[in-house]
Chains A and B, each alone.
Chain A
């Protein structure tokens, strides 16, 4: 049976879509493995007062290609002369992706803010 122009167009688009997805998956699958590498970039200058104290925005990025599950990051800062700890947990952090976070303190932190990775599970 002969096909009309719409059918040829649908076939072409379909073949391209399949090819694109297949090539992307192959490139990703055959590429070098880069382990999970979470990093937190805080933006204290964008911090703001909130009803429960002080909130500092940041971005948690996974520079690796492998995903991480239940990523826990701890942040420490001096508030009113005392060290205060804030913690955040991200359920899923895909490789090469980032997520915006907000970390809370009782008041505006003074000085440097230190962050560290507590841990994560490998899915």
Chain B
């Protein structure tokens, strides 16, 4: 959440604007899953503790993202925590209202079904709310570049990469398609998808000149190297994909060959999300400096 420039307290108007912005961002990101039948279905089929686990992971990601993106150096952890709780709470409330408006929640439904659907749909909405507060604020509300120049380091970027991977793959993981694609693909096709995922995300983050991209030059740390960061982000993407398949009960009774194929296919989506996440938080001070040839300065 952004801070008021002069005073020590936001006005009620600014707070209201923040909430409306967060609601809009949450709906923008959460809309595809709100209209996905498989997610409603998983809301009552999945074990409630698995849904709670997913919700907890999402909360950690939201806190991590808020810590690493869009906050000034003097933001306290408590403020970040407050904003994260608000983002998750908003996600739950918006999810509840949207599902009622879509006719997916009715009075004769069991509490388990209602809670499961609302919790699952709240995850992308909470992500969207956080993104809206940190990335979609107007120039007046957004932190200045000087303010935002908190160096998050290579591991911070990888944390955000995990969040991006989770957000993107969450849109696809509940559906049948990644399972079908993974099972039907030949081994050479899966290898080609792996190579494509790595090359594409390397290009997006280090070459394509997006806002937030960085020159492909190594920093001091071994993890602060474009190749190692790309490979680590891809590995994280595969891990996130596997975690989601487990969460959505896709791993039980599934053979290793099928599981590999499914993970690689969903990993393609997750790796793109990881790349977008790293672009959003930019380079900070880590990696190569951006002043010269800084095609991708933010």
Closest chain A CB from B185 CB (angstroms): 25
A-B contacts, CB under 8 A, total: 122
Closest chain A CB from B4 CB (angstroms): 8
**Known contacts A7-B15, A17-B93, A97-B109; is A25 also within 8 Å of B85 by CB?**
no
CB contacts under 8 Å to A, within B77-123, are 79, 82, 85-90, 92-93, 96, 108-116, 118-119, 122
Answer yes or no: B3 CB below 8 A from chain A CBs.
yes
Pick the interface stretch among B39-47, B159-167, B196-204, B215-223: B39-47
1/0 per residue A13-33: CB within 8 Å of B?
111111001101110111000
A29 to B48, CA, bound (A): 5
Residues of B close to A76: CB separation below 8 A = none
Closest chain A CB from B248 CB (angstroms): 11
Answer yes or no: B8 CB below 8 A from chain A CBs.
yes
Answer yes or no: B55 CB below 8 A from chain A CBs.
yes
Answer yes or no: B256 CB below 8 A from chain A CBs.
no
> Is there an interface contact between B89 and A17, defined as CB atoms closer than 8 Å?
yes
On chain A, which size bracket covers the interface? 20 to 34
A30 to B141, CA, bound (A): 44
On chain B, which size bracket covers the interface? 35 or more
> Is there an interface contact between A14 and B89, defined as CB atoms closer than 8 Å?
yes
Residues of B close to A28: CB separation below 8 A = 48, 111-112, 115-116
**Known contacts A25-B48, A67-B45; is A18 also within 8 Å of B88 by CB?**
yes
Answer yes or no: A85 CB below 8 A from chain B CBs.
no
Besides A25-B55, A94-B113, A97-B44, 19 other A-B contacts (C-beta < 8 A) = A3-B10, A4-B9, A4-B15, A11-B82, A14-B90, A15-B89, A17-B89, A17-B93, A18-B92, A21-B118, A25-B52, A26-B49, A29-B47, A92-B45, A94-B45, A95-B113, A96-B110, A97-B109, A97-B110
Q: Which residues of B contact A (CB under 8 A)?
A: 3-4, 8-12, 15-16, 19, 41, 44-45, 47-49, 51-52, 55, 59, 79, 82, 85-90, 92-93, 96, 108-116, 118-119, 122, 249
